[in-house]
Amino acid sequence: MTAAFDAFFMRMALREAEKAAADGEVPLGSVVVAPAVLEPAHDGHPPVFDCNPSMARILGRAHNMTEGLSDATAHAEMLALSSAFQTRGDWRLSGARLYVTKEPCPMCAGAIVLARLDAVVWGVSDPKRGGGTTFGIFDHPGINHHPAIVTGVLEDDAKALLQDFFRSRRAD
C-alpha cells in the first residue's frame, strides 16, 4: 500500500480515538480495511491491490471501551476485529489491514496473528507494553502467521492525542 493510503485510514483511526477520549477512555482507535483486489494471486505471485482508499472496504472500526464496558479486553483493536469478523462472516481476515493509533498490546497482537491479517499499521510505538516491539509477537518464530508491520504513520498526531489526554487527567 502507499503512504497516502495508510495515512487516510490512520486519520479514520484517529477520529475513533477522539471518540474514546470524549468518553473518558484512553484515546485509541482502530480500523480494519480490506483493500480492493485488482489482480488475484496467481502463479506464485501475490495479489495486486488498488491503492485508492475509496475502493477499499471498511470491515470494522472501534475505539477503546474498557471503562464503559467494564471489560479489560475491550481494546479498540479487539472491538474492530470482532466487527470485521461479523462483516466478513469469517474469523480469517486475510487480505485486510488493521490501523491503530498505538501499537497493539500482547493480547491484541495475539488476536491479530490469529486473524491472519496481512498488515498492522500503527502510529505510536509502545516501548513498555508493545506486542511487537517489546514482546516480539509479530515476528516470533513459533507462530504460523507474520503480518507486515508499518509504524510511525501520523505518529505526531497519535502521540499528541495521548499526551493531551493524560495531561488533562493529571490536571483533574
Active site residues: 77
CB within 8 Å of 103: residues ≥ 6 apart: 122, 124, 125, 126, 130, 131, 132, 133, 151
* Paired sense of beta strands 29-34 and 97-102, if any: antiparallel
Contact status, residue 35 vs residue 58, Cβ threshold 8 Å? no
Query: Following CA atoms 96, 100, 105, 110 in sequence, which dihedral angle do they give, to the nearest 10 degrees?
Result: -10
| 52 touches 6 (CB < 8 A) | no
Distance of CA 138 to the CA centre of its chain: 13
Place of cell 502463479: 43
Dist CA 159 CA 31 (whole Å): 18
